[in-house]
Amino acid sequence: MALYLLRRVGQSLLTVFLTVSTVFVLIRLAPGDPATAYAGPLATTEELARIRAELGLDRPLPEQFLVFLRGLATGDLGTSYSFQAPALDVVLDRLPFTITLAVAAILLTTAVAVPLGVWMARRADTTRELGANIVTVAGQSMPDFWSGVMLLTFFAVLLPVLPASGFATWGGLVLPATTIAILQIALISRLVRREMAANLTAPYLTVARSRGVSERALVWRYAMGNSAIPVLTALGTRFASMVNGVVVVEVVFAWPGVGSLVVRALETRDYPLIQATVLVTAALAILVQLLIDLAYPLFDPRVRLGKKAAA
């Protein structure tokens, strides 16, 4: 177990390093110049050259990379051009907002998608399920920039019950979390439905029913217990991608999270900030994935024993 954990952490660190390195190279290959973005369109060539020298951008790429690595080893990811503050601090300041939004969205998704999926599985292939099917397909088909704007229009403009943007009150969480959850509910509920429908017709369920186990226990203990792994995996993957910042939704609702920070960093070609953002979100996503993998044995005894045998 300790060996497994060590190997996984090693793999994770390597993945984060490769991701950050790739991004380091790619943003410098992409068109656009931080100096121009920094000094504005009226800057003279001399001014631009001076700024490049100041930011260290006039040196060859491998040298820049070495400087970056040296900083990385000491936890210094450079100074953000646009914020004039340590890039890592800027990202970490935004992180709680993104995590709050992701947690709210994943809780909402779970709370709706699991009962909905179970409801559909228990009525598999009936006309009532068809209605739910249409709704979930529609949910899957709505892009978040559209559903976000629609929610804004209805609940913040036409019927102003909720704040339109920012995170001044907890009410501000409702619309962005709902926007994210619409698509996720559609996807997860269909997964829950498929898994549950298979388990509800499994032989072990019929045998359990034959010994007088209540329908409630059959559905929630037996069928759900056996559907937990794929559902948990899907929810975990979704959550991991949400902590990366939900760019579109954060921009639509002016949410002060990592997603909207990425947009600003890219617009201003703020290399240190982009690198810091990628580092933090990649590390976070991999951490979440690792936690999910470690949680598997709690839900499936077969995984537990396999691991014991391997280690």
Partner 1 sequence: MTLAASGRRHARPADTAAPLLDVSELQIELITDAGVVRAVDGVSFRIERGETVTIIGESGSGKSTTAMGVLGLLPADLAVLSGAVRFGGTDVVADPAAIRAVRGRTVSLIPQDPMTALSPVHTIGRQLTEAVRLRRPELPRRAVRERAAELLDQVRIPRPAAQLATYPHQLSGGMLQRVLIAIALAGEPELLVADEPTSALDVTVQAGILDILLELQERTRIGILMITHDLGVARLVSDRIHVMRDGRFVESGEVEAIVEAPANDYTRMLLSAVPRLGPWDEGAAAGGPTSGESR
Q: How far is the CB of 210 from partner 1 (least distance, A)?
A: 4
Residue 212 touches partner 1, criterion: CB under 8 A: yes
Contacting partner 1 within 220-259 (CB under 8 A): 221-222, 225-226, 228
By CB under 8 A, residue 209 contacts partner 1: yes
Q: Tell me: does residue 301 bind partner 1 (CB under 8 A).
A: yes
Asked whether position 216 contacts partner 1 by CB under 8 A, the answer is no
Q: Are 162 and 171 in contact (CB under 8 A)?
A: yes
- Residue 20: CB atoms within 10 A of its CB come to 21
The backbone torsions φ and ψ at residue 138, rounded to the nearest 5 degrees and listed phi first, read -60, -45
- Distance of closest approach, residue 110 Cβ to partner 1, in angstroms: 19
Question: Should residue 206 be labelled a site residue for partner 1 when binding is judged by CB under 8 A?
Answer: yes
- In the bound state with partner 1, the residue whose beta carbon lies nearer, of 162 and 229, is 229
Please tell me the distance from the alpha carbon of residue 152 to that of residue 154, in angstroms, as a whole number.
Answer: 6
Residue type, 188: I
Within 10 angstroms of residue 199's Cβ, the number of other Cβ atoms is 19
Rounded-to-integer distance, Cα 244 and Cα 262, Å:
10
Contact between residue 197 and residue 185 where contact means Cβ atoms under 8 Å apart: no
Q: Which of 73, 75, 210, 310 binds partner 1 (CB under 8 A)?
A: 210
Q: State the angle between helix axes of 301-310 and 271-299 in degrees (0 to 180), rounded to the nearest 10.
A: 100
Q: Return the residue of 230, 305, 307, 311 that touches partner 1, per CB under 8 A.
A: 305
| Residue 269 phi, psi dihedral angles, 5° rounding | 50, 45
**Distance between CA atoms of residues 159 and 168, nearest Å:** 19
Q: Is 213 in the site for partner 1 (CB under 8 A)?
A: yes
Residue among 134, 207, 291, 311 that touches partner 1 (CB under 8 A): 207
> Given candidates 203, 216, 309, 310, which one binds partner 1 under the rule CB under 8 A?
203
Question: How many chain residues touch partner 1 (CB under 8 A)?
Answer: 22
User: Quick one: 294 or 305, whose CB is closer to partner 1?
Assistant: 305
Q: Which stretches of the chain bind partner 1, using CB under 8 A?
A: 202-204, 206-213, 217, 221-222, 225-226, 228, 299-302, 305
